[in-house]
Amino acid sequence: MASQKQQLGSGKDYYDPPPAPLFDTDELSQWSFYRAVIAEFVAALIFLYITVLTVIGNKAQTDPAMSLDACGGVGILGIAWAFGGMIFVLVYCTAGISGGHINPAVTFGLFLARKVSLLRALCYMVAQCSGAICGVALVRAFQSTYYDKYGGGANKLSTGFSTSTGLAAEIIGTFVLVYTIFSATDPKRSARDSHIPVSMLIFVYDHFSKYFMK
């Protein structure tokens, strides 16, 4: 009651949710907790599977040794649509189950803000990394020749950019991603549309990053 009066007196027309406990063992007895962990695993698996396949497919279609049509691939714009589109779909599907984190950096940021417990954060990050590994493993299993030929679709710095520049760009991009998620999930917002700004950010940033990453 005291906290409610304090918030009302501060000019807020909403209530901040209480901070998540640091370590909540009660979660281990709830099926919703395991369902959320599974959702994060599946989302990371699907995201990596689709996006890595898109990148490898584009490299194969634009490789002069493989095709005479240098413009035959989906291109930078198509890759950006694949990343942004998958985030749009997966966040929409999992937001009501697990919060739709998908990225360990997002989970870590929400943990620092006391929006998830340490136990949930650790389980989410393990599930996300495991799902990502499994997603890439599926790509390698189905497209082993192209996977090995194009380095698994991994990013490389473009000519003229240093490692420190790439690192700085990734740090800034991760910060903007977490910032956008915090803004999109602010308790003042009643609309359930957080998947829209997050996916648009991924689309724009992925399109932009291809100028210093290849």
> Tell me: the pLDDT tens digits for 81-91?
888 999 999 99
Tell me, yes or no, whether 49 lies in a domain: yes
Per-residue confidence (pLDDT) for residue 60, from 0 to 100:
77
Tell me, yes or no, whether 15 lies in a domain: no
Kindly indicate the confidence band of residue 70, based on its pLDDT and cuts at 50, 70 and 90. Answer: low
Per-residue confidence (pLDDT) for residue 202, from 0 to 100:
82
Per-residue confidence (pLDDT) for residue 68, from 0 to 100:
52
- Decide if pLDDT at 189 tops 90: no
- Decide if pLDDT at 180 tops 60: yes
Name the burial class of residue 45, with classes exposed (0-12), middle (13-18) and buried (19+) by CB atoms within 10 angstroms of its CB. buried
Please indicate, yes or no, whether the overall pTM of this predicted structure exceeds 0.85.
no
Look at 161 and 104; give whichever has higher pLDDT: 104
- Decide if pLDDT at 1 tops 50: no
Look at 10 and 202; give whichever has higher pLDDT: 202
Per-residue confidence (pLDDT) for residue 2, from 0 to 100:
46
Tell me, yes or no, whether 18 lies in a domain: no
Tell me, yes or no, whether 39 lies in a domain: yes
Tell me, yes or no, whether 3 lies in a domain: no
Tell me, yes or no, whether 84 lies in a domain: yes
Domain containing 156: what range?
Answer: 25-209
Per-residue confidence (pLDDT) for residue 67, from 0 to 100:
59
What CATH code is carried by the domain that includes residue 159? Answer: 1.20.1080.10
Tell me, yes or no, whether 214 lies in a domain: no
- If one counts the domains in the chain, the total is 1
Tell me, yes or no, whether 20 lies in a domain: no
Kindly indicate the confidence band of residue 136, based on its pLDDT and cuts at 50, 70 and 90. Answer: very high
